[in-house]
Amino acid sequence: MAFNVGDVVKIRRDDLLRGGGQARVMKVLPQQLDASTVREYVVEFQALPQKFPNSERFRFCIYREEQLLS
Q: What is the mean pLDDT of the chain?
A: 85
What is the Cα–Cα distance from 20 to 41, expressed in whole angstroms? 17
* Mean predicted confidence (pLDDT) in 44-52: 80
Task: Specify the amino acid at residue 29.
Answer: L
The answer as to whether 46 is a domain residue is: yes
The answer as to whether 3 is a domain residue is: no
Q: Could you list the residue range(s) of the whole structural domain that residue 50 is in?
A: 8-69
- Number of structural domains in the chain: 1
| Entry pTM | 0.81
* Mean predicted confidence (pLDDT) in 40-53: 84
* Banded pLDDT at 19 (limits 50, 70, 90): confident
The answer as to whether 1 is a domain residue is: no
The answer as to whether 13 is a domain residue is: yes
Instruction: Give the model's pLDDT for residue 23.
Output: 93
Q: Report DSSP state, residue 4.
A: -
| Cβ contacts of 16 within 8 Å, gap of 6 or more | none
Instruction: Give the model's pLDDT for residue 35.
Output: 64
Are the CB atoms for 2 and 39 separated by under 8 Å?
A: yes
